[in-house]
Structure 1
Amino acid sequence: MADLDLGPVWLTLRLAAVTVLLLLLVGTPLAWWLAHTRTRLKPLIEAVTALPLVLPP
């Protein structure tokens, strides 16, 4: 494979790494908060976070 063929692969790997990092930084505290809170917003936030599973992109 030539170096030009690896460009999209490296782009994909970098994008995947950034996405995982952002989701860990946002998702972990949000999951902890949802597990330990009793606010009235909890059902709404749970529904919004479940939307990507229900609605395809």
Structure 2
Amino acid sequence: MDKVMRLASESGVVLFSKSSCCLCYAVKILFQDLGVTPAVHEIDQDPKGREIERAAGIYK
């Protein structure tokens, strides 16, 4: 999917996350503690979130 490729190319670190996911939250904190500022894209807030999940290979 073009959107996934575009988002991935815009930043050195991209995190595809769900806002209600506790593991996603832990990864965000880990990056923060390491001094890394990833581009966070909340797929559950995106109308095309399901398509992004499939394109990025994210499975439930």
Normalising by the residue count of structure 2, what TM-score does the alignment of the two structures yield? Answer: 0.30
Structure with bigger gyration radius: 1
Normalising by the residue count of structure 1, what TM-score does the alignment of the two structures yield? Answer: 0.31
Q: Which structure's relative contact order is higher, taking Cα pairs within 8 Å and 6+ residues apart? A: 2
More helix by share: 1
